[in-house]
Structure 1
Amino acid sequence: MPEVPAGFTPDVSRKRSAEAGSSPERGPDRKRTCWGILTSQGSWADRSPLHEAASQGRLLGLRTLLDQGFYPNVVTIDHVTPLHEACLSGHVACVRALINAGANVNAATIDGVTPLFNCCSSGNAGCLELLLQSGARARAQHTHFPSALHEACKRGSSQCVEVLLAHGADPDAQLSHQGSPLYVSCLHQHTACSKILLHRGASANVGCGEESPLHAAVKLDSADLVSVLLDYGADVNLRDRSNKRPVDLAPSSGKTKKLLQAFEASPRTLCQLCRIQIRNSIGRSRLKQLSCLPLPPLLTNYLEHT
């Protein structure tokens, strides 16, 4: 690999995106938060010109460096690659150029963060699709590694959620510290993401530990989310670690309190019960094949919940 040009000053490498609305501070005492741990500037150093070009979306400069022999999988001390940077900044052209040059689409940092995860942090479905078409794994290799699907649900990127599920991501994948993707989506009040997950067969009752997605939605007094969850079979009688049902957690004067009380007073219709039972019997992996069945459109739409 060519030597770093004289006068090049390494900047700070990013493992993942900062929280929305935040911007990097400048100065010798700069620190970043990484999974709840403050990390000093020193451990983010060792950034190459290729990282810089990928991060800033300078396609011509990136191609020039690659043509000069720069290694596309060069890593920082924390194993951040230029592809991580391009995905985090959402530069599709740079992502394509790096992949064509042989960049590892499944490269992981020391924390297990992949380029796929960074795409979901930036909410760029174009970069995400490109990675998946190039062999990126939609499912995390280990349950303690960061999950791209959970990150997309946290950020509210419904396009990224749709793309990941279409490429085989598990809508019920559990992380010990976050729970299910649906639980994360409800926790951050992203109704669109929750609808996509449920439509793709995610269980309405798989949450985090003993707390269900319905518990999370009710505590936030999100009537839209509660309605969607109930429509897909959420159990109003599940109890959390404190032995409380969702209705017990609803704000006394909120919309969800009235909604749950009305639901308990009027059980699900036979139409709803049948749809829930049929979808459960068909199984999540075969739901996407409903449109291929020789059924009237009205019945197909009923089963697909559209």
Structure 2
Amino acid sequence: MAQPGDPRRLYRLVQEGRLRALQEELQAAGGCPGPAGDTLLHCAARHGHRDVLAYLAEAWGMDIEATNRDYKRPLHEAASMGHRDCVRYLLGRGAAVDCLKKADWTPLMMACTRKNLGVIQELVEHGANPLLKNKDGWNSFHIASREGDPLILQYLLTVCPDAWKTESKIRRTPLHTAAMHGHLEAVKVLLKRCQYEPDYGDNCGVTPLMDAIQCGHIDVARLLLDEHGEGHTSTIQTLLSLGADINSKDEKNRSALHLACAGQHLACAKFLLQSGLKDSEDVTGTLAQQLPRRADVLQGSGHSAMT
């Protein structure tokens, strides 16, 4: 059984938010042990116990800038777990808003891994810089694009209009990331408020459209095609050369041919047919050949191969 003052018991009391019991334990022990990893402040911030956090910082004078083995500070913990009251308290006591943990992650970057606009606003209003990058070249806007919350993206673009002008060390943009993860509403925001080049490729030549198609996000791919127009036959060629399955379908049993026909992309439809893709019904029983709005879209494009 853990004895009074035992670090394991102290951490359990902090985790459970039992402030009175913690006060008694610390007073009996004559202070707080100094664990090599997380401090009690880290634990309180991680679990969102502002009262415990305040007691430890004020009554015992614990260092709010203490770091653990990953160089995380209590502010990183509070931000990553979405505890706005703890974030506000730590910032109010002078915590460094853009402190770095291992791999150069700031508290704002950590907050952007969660869909918690309030915490992000708190950090930005206290001076957090959305343009800082981690070791992989991602800034906070890039990280937010991976999570795909359109309100957070809109907010970051409002407070920092140039946040979208970024790419990772392998030249991937926030649009690549949002498309790969299938965040349709996020992609809409990026296309409306940012000026991404239609065929911007990463170090491997992969474009956002390729990411969307390879990951089966047909709605996102259709949006990118509609936004950027035709001329994506070369994209399809590249995908096939990279080993993409021409016969792959999404959850609605739609093929790439459905996408091309629905978007009225004659060149793409023709290339897919010439590459051996056969028409088939989606879950509603609709064939790709039924989707073109113009009668001439499939003329001369191998229409007979579709039936």
TM-score (norm 1): 0.66
1:259 aligns with 2:259: yes
Looking at structure 2, the residues matched to 49 and 143 of structure 1 have their Cα atoms a distance apart, in angstroms, of 28
1:116 aligns with 2:108: yes
1:8 aligns with 2:3: no
Looking at structure 2, the residues matched to 147 and 207 of structure 1 have their Cα atoms a distance apart, in angstroms, of 19
Map 1:50-89 to 2 at 5 A: 50-68=41-59, 69-89=61-81
Paired position in structure 1 for 2:303? none
Looking at structure 1, the residues matched to 36 and 231 of structure 2 have their Cα atoms a distance apart, in angstroms, of 50
Number of aligned pairs?
Answer: 230
Paired position in structure 2 for 1:171? 164
The one-letter code of the counterpart of 2:257 is K
**Residue 130 of structure 1: which of 99, 102, 122 is its match?**
122
Looking at structure 1, the residues matched to 230 and 168 of structure 2 have their Cα atoms a distance apart, in angstroms, of 22
Looking at structure 1, the residues matched to 265 and 230 of structure 2 have their Cα atoms a distance apart, in angstroms, of 11
| Pair 1:92–1:106, CA change in 2 (3 A) | same
Paired position in structure 2 for 1:220? 215
Q: Greater RCO between the two (CA within 8 Å, min separation 6)? A: 1
Consecutive unaligned residues of structure 1, counting only runs of 5 or more, are: 12-43, 268-306
> For structure 1, which segment, 182-191 or 69-78, has the greater mean C-alpha deviation from structure 2 after superposition?
69-78
Q: Structure 1, residues 234-282: CA drift from partner, whole Å, max 9, x if none? A: 6643746974589x95743634322224532299xxxxxxxxxxxxxxx
The one-letter code of the counterpart of 2:199 is N
Map 1:38-49 to 2 at 5 A: 46-49=37-40
Map 1:157-236 to 2 at 5 A: 157-168=149-160, 169-177=162-170, 179-203=172-196, 204-209=198-203, 210-233=205-228, 236=231
Looking at structure 2, the residues matched to 245 and 236 of structure 1 have their Cα atoms a distance apart, in angstroms, of 16
Looking at structure 1, the residues matched to 237 and 169 of structure 2 have their Cα atoms a distance apart, in angstroms, of 19
Give the conservation status (yes or no) of the 8 Å contact 2:240–2:246.
Answer: no
Looking at structure 2, the residues matched to 235 and 245 of structure 1 have their Cα atoms a distance apart, in angstroms, of 18
| Pair 1:152–1:47, CA change in 2 (3 A) | same
> Over alpha carbons, which structure has the higher Rg?
2
Paired position in structure 2 for 1:38? none
Deviation at 1:161, TM superposition (A): 2.0
Q: Structure 1, residues 24-80: CA drift from partner, whole Å, max 9, x if none? A: xxxxxxxxxxxxxxxxxxxx9511111111001001111112222222211113210
Consecutive unaligned residues of structure 2, counting only runs of 5 or more, are: 12-34, 269-307
Deviation at 1:181, TM superposition (A): 0.6
Looking at structure 2, the residues matched to 63 and 153 of structure 1 have their Cα atoms a distance apart, in angstroms, of 34
Q: Structure 1, residues 90-118: CA drift from partner, whole Å, max 9, x if none? A: 00000000000111110111211111111
| Pair 1:45–1:199, CA change in 2 (3 A) | farther
Aligned-CA RMSD value: 3.0
Looking at structure 2, the residues matched to 70 and 117 of structure 1 have their Cα atoms a distance apart, in angstroms, of 25
Give the conservation status (yes or no) of the 8 Å contact 1:57–1:94.
Answer: yes
| Pair 1:240–1:131, CA change in 2 (3 A) | same
Looking at structure 2, the residues matched to 144 and 220 of structure 1 have their Cα atoms a distance apart, in angstroms, of 22
Looking at structure 2, the residues matched to 147 and 234 of structure 1 have their Cα atoms a distance apart, in angstroms, of 29
Give the conservation status (yes or no) of the 8 Å contact 2:133–2:139.
Answer: no
Looking at structure 1, the residues matched to 145 and 172 of structure 2 have their Cα atoms a distance apart, in angstroms, of 12
The one-letter code of the counterpart of 2:106 is T
Give the conservation status (yes or no) of the 8 Å contact 1:105–1:134.
Answer: yes
Looking at structure 1, the residues matched to 233 and 156 of structure 2 have their Cα atoms a distance apart, in angstroms, of 29
Deviation at 1:143, TM superposition (A): 6.5
Looking at structure 2, the residues matched to 73 and 63 of structure 1 have their Cα atoms a distance apart, in angstroms, of 14
Paired position in structure 1 for 2:145? 153
Structure 2 residue matching 1:186: 3-state secondary structure:
helix
Give the conservation status (yes or no) of the 8 Å contact 2:103–2:135.
Answer: no
TM-score (norm 2): 0.66
Give the conservation status (yes or no) of the 8 Å contact 1:183–1:206.
Answer: no
Structure 2 residue matching 1:93: 3-state secondary structure:
helix
